[in-house]
Amino acid sequence: MKKSQISSALSDFFFEYETPRQVLVRNRRVGVVCRLIQLGVLVYIIGWVFIYEKGYQSTDIAVSSVFTKMKGVGYTNVNGVERVWDVSDYVFPPQVVLYLLMNSRLSLFQGEMTGVCVNTTNTCEVLAWCPVEDDRIIPSPPLLMSAENYTLFIKNSVTFPIFGVTRSNLVEGIDADYINKCLYHPEDAPLCPIFRLGDIVKLSGFNFETIAQEGGTIGIVIDWTCNFDVAVKHCKPKYNFHGLYGNPSDTGQTRPSLGYNFRYAKHYLENSVQKRTLLKVFGIRFDIIVQSLARKFDIIPTLTAIGSGVGIFGVATVVCDLVLLYLLPKREFYKNMKFKYTDTPIQVRSRQCAK
């Protein structure tokens, strides 16, 4: 008996189908208002959420690796002493954040710490490298004005871990032949990975002469905004440049720390005496910042958007019901059409059948 009951309940459940009963209100005003609201919701869901904001896609942020190489030879003539500067002289560690020496004040210090450098005056004796550095003078014009024509080569590899896609900034068409002769230009050669320093500085809003003398930091942003619903080859980097600190176009707040410089010492041993050359170097620091956002169709956000869209549709119905049941002149009539009351069933039936 129990078994047959269960199987009967199951067959009932499977062969039955529930659908809500509806009142079809034939009223021009309500009809138009409601259809417009529903249309608005539909346009929002399809137009805004799906087409404009691509709500059917999930997102992924890349992990990346950057490699740089700078090329160019500089020449300086300080007080008649000529000198040649090549990459190994003016680029500090060959990494993501790389530093280009632009200007420097050179002073050779003796290694023995005398501590009695100045003792004819009444000041206290200070133990220090000797002679003491004079911090006030910035050489002008800058030493390495020729750096304007140096070039910077950037290799960048990005991997989107969730989507399993790896891309390099040497995209399709950027082969050895092209790299040997190209130079980055925002419109004419936006994919060439070789950048002229003068161009970078100009595009970032700095003035080359100022930055060459006092130093500064330039952010080179490599922007990977990709849509993997189209072919992967359309996923290409975009390069942007902007001054990070002490940019002349910044508001006053960052002014206190204009310029970029640091002290750098080279150590020598001469006749078993430790000596060092202290350089206060002014230069351009390049921060290569990889920024990425990839999108791809995903069933979860798609169905979440559809499901919540249906919910918003329900809100539209609630709004229309409020109009129908509280604002229209015939609201009592509609209320009776829509609702059935449990406590006064006879009255309800009679009303309903009387209509």
According to DSSP, residue 125 is labeled P
Considering the complex, state which of residue 12 and residue 188 has its C-beta at the smaller distance from a second copy. 12
280 annotated ligand binder = yes
In whole angstroms, the minimum distance from the beta carbon of 248 to a second copy comes to 15
Is 221 near a second copy (CB under 8 A)? yes
Taking CA atoms, 137 is separated from 43, 214, 281, 298, in Å, by 66, 11, 12, 61
70 annotated ligand binder = yes
109 annotated ligand binder = no
Q: Which amino acid is at 341?
A: Y
Is 14 near a second copy (CB under 8 A)? yes
Are 135 and 264 a contacting pair, CB within 8 Å?
no
Is 106 near a second copy (CB under 8 A)? no
Return the residue of 124, 137, 176, 231 that touches a second copy, per CB under 8 A: 176
Describe the crossing of helices 28-43 and 299-322 by its angle, rounded to 10 degrees: 160
Return the residue of 43, 315, 327, 332 that touches a second copy, per CB under 8 A: 315
CB neighbour list of residue 141: distance below 8 Å, 6 or more residues apart: 209, 213
- Nearest alpha-carbon partner for 59 in 259, 297, 280: 297
Apex 152 CA angle, 249 and 67, nearest 5:
105
Considering the complex, state which of residue 213 and residue 217 has its C-beta at the smaller distance from a second copy. 217
**Residue 111, number of CB atoms within 10 A of its CB:** 15
Site for a second copy in 124-163 (CB under 8 A): 127-129, 153, 155, 157, 159, 161-162
Site for a second copy in 17-36 (CB under 8 A): 17-28, 30-32, 34-35
**Residue 159, number of CB atoms within 10 A of its CB:** 15
Task: Tell me the window of 117-125, 143-151, 194-202, 289-297 that interacts with a second copy (CB under 8 A).
Answer: 289-297
In whole angstroms, the minimum distance from the beta carbon of 120 to a second copy comes to 21
Considering the complex, state which of residue 148 and residue 223 has its C-beta at the smaller distance from a second copy. 223
In whole angstroms, the minimum distance from the beta carbon of 75 to a second copy comes to 6
